[in-house]
Structure 1
Amino acid sequence: MIFIGLIVFLAAVDLLIKSSIEEQEECDFPKEMKGTNGKVLLYKNHNPGFSFGFLKNRPELVQAVPLAVASFLGGMLAGLLQRKGRLAEKLALSIALGGALSNLYDRLVRRYVVDYFSLQFGKLKKVVFNLGDIFIFLGALILLIAEFIRMFREH
């Protein structure tokens, strides 16, 4: 049950931030996030496609593919929840699903994903993310590390 709570919490946090961004005037962006010394800029970007606007002219795919992926991840997590152990995998899938569901909500309801921050480091300056994206990446990273550790333990 804790993993379901984590999914809901992470999705809710991202969706609340997105709603806050959406309520602000577009002319107020970009702006520096307080307390970051200019290392994080806030934006109000609407992305109707995948990363970098890929397939923005194919909204049916942009909705169907994430729905299928989120369903698959949810199914994997449901299967794992029936088993003892595998906490890293359960945590990874929960974190990724929290982000995926937040972005999926945007795709299905808003018809675009709200991206709202950019890290001012190197090539990342050109990329605007949201927390959902970070959760998906973090979940995938944890899953990858857990699999490598399990592989090395088995050999």
Structure 2
Amino acid sequence: MLVIFLAALGALIADQASKYLVVHMMGLSQIGSMDILPPVLNFRYGENRGINFGLLDSDAELARWLLIGFSVVISVAVVWWLRHRRHGIMMRISAGLLVGGALGNVADRLLYGYVLDFLNMSCCGIANPFVFNLADVFIFAGALGLILFDGGKGRKKAA
């Protein structure tokens, strides 16, 4: 459980620190965009009231609280699932990244009413119109890790 907690805490802190630095300290919320290493890495200010890529976007308070609740339920379920099974360290780190990312976006919804997004990446002649944040990266990496590192080897703990 300690590995899950530390990975989640690290992801949460990295996500919130990056948002504070880029959006508030660098003033992205006022200027709207910054080209860092164009076209590969750009900062574009975004307020996401939905889920990934703005799906289910809504200004309704009910939607905000439903998304907060959904994120918390998923986080608890992932921790509960791994707590009751034996898994390797990569599975536990992956779970922590997923949970930390989800809680990073929950923190945004609680603080601002929406998720702060600022990363925009394009490559190879494809102009990506979407913005995301480190929490989204951690959620994706964590979910992918849970799939890749499971291998069906999880066993129930001995009673």
Q: Same fold (TM over 0.5)?
A: yes
Task: Give deviations 1:47-66, integer Å, cap 9, x for gaps.
Answer: 22223432313332233234
- 1:49 and 1:59 in contact (8 A); partners too: no
- The answer to whether the aligner puts 1:119 opposite 2:137 as a matched pair is no
Matched AA of 2:72: A
Long gaps (5+) in structure 2: 154-159
Aligned partners of 1:123 and 1:67: how far apart in 2?
Answer: 35
Matched AA of 1:29: G
Shift of 1:108: 1.6
Relative contact order (alpha carbons < 8 A, sep ≥ 6): 1 or 2 greater?
2
Of Structure 1 and Structure 2, which has the larger fraction of its residues in helix? 1
CA RMSD in angstroms, aligned pairs only: 2.4
Partner of 1:97: 99
Aligned partners of 1:133 and 1:126: how far apart in 2?
Answer: 16
Aligned partners of 1:93 and 1:66: how far apart in 2?
Answer: 18
- 2:28 and 2:44 in contact (8 A); partners too: no
Long gaps (5+) in structure 1: none
Task: Give deviations 1:103-138, integer Å, cap 9, x for gaps.
Answer: 011112210110001111255611101000011111
SS at match of 1:144: helix
Residue in structure 2 matching 1:131, options 126, 130, 134: 134
Partner of 1:48: 49
Matched AA of 1:150: G
- Tell me: CA distance 1:27–1:109, structure 2 relative to 1, closer, same or farther (3 Å): closer
Aligned partners of 1:87 and 1:30: how far apart in 2?
Answer: 38
- 1:66 and 1:100 in contact (8 A); partners too: no
Matched AA of 2:141: L
- Tell me: CA distance 1:58–1:78, structure 2 relative to 1, closer, same or farther (3 Å): same
Partner of 2:21: 20
Partner of 1:58: 60
- 1:94 and 1:139 in contact (8 A); partners too: yes
Higher alpha-carbon deviation: 132-141 or 86-95: 86-95
